[in-house]
Amino acid sequence: MDVAGNIVIIIGIVFMAFGVFGLYKFKDFYLRLLVLAKIDTVGAITFMIGIVMRHGLSFFSLKVFLIMILFLILNPLTAHIIARAAYLSLEGIFEVHDDQGGK
């Protein structure tokens, strides 16, 4: 079970590394937030599942599982709050004007 846990932990780390490259690839604030929220959630949950697999069923695994549930609830919620605050402050939103004087 240790080998399988190590493989799952490595997969989680690889997901997080791809998230770093995604932050450099996209230039828009909202696309960066989307990539960060998705990859961070997937990478951290995969990492925590690997930790639970390595330690088996124990009190430590129960605590990691509870942290995982909190992470699943709070990470998308915080990403939504950040995106909504940026939208309400008009961060990254530009109006496009055409040559005829209209919007």
Q: Over the stretch 56-94, which tens digit does the pLDDT of each residue have?
A: 889 999 999 999 999 999 998 999 998 888 888 876 665
User: Would residue 101 count as lying in a domain?
Assistant: no
The rounded percent of the chain whose pLDDT value lies above 90 is 45
Nearest partner of 46 among 71, 77, 21, 63, judged by Cα: 71
User: Would residue 93 count as lying in a domain?
Assistant: no
Provide the mean pLDDT of the chain. 85
Distance between CA atoms of residues 46 and 5, nearest Å: 10
* pTM summary value: 0.76
Burial of 38 (C-beta count, 10 Å sphere; 0-12/13-18/19+): middle
Report whether 63 contacts 39 (CB < 8 A): no
Count of domains for the chain: 1
User: Would residue 65 count as lying in a domain?
Assistant: yes
Longest CA–CA span in the chain (Å) reads 69
- Which band of pLDDT confidence, cut at 50, 70 and 90, is reported for residue 96? very low
- Which band of pLDDT confidence, cut at 50, 70 and 90, is reported for residue 49? very high
Nearest partner of 31 among 102, 67, 79, judged by Cα: 79
User: Would residue 70 count as lying in a domain?
Assistant: yes
Domain that holds residue 41: 2-88
pLDDT at 77: 93
User: Would residue 94 count as lying in a domain?
Assistant: no
User: Would residue 99 count as lying in a domain?
Assistant: no
User: Would residue 97 count as lying in a domain?
Assistant: no
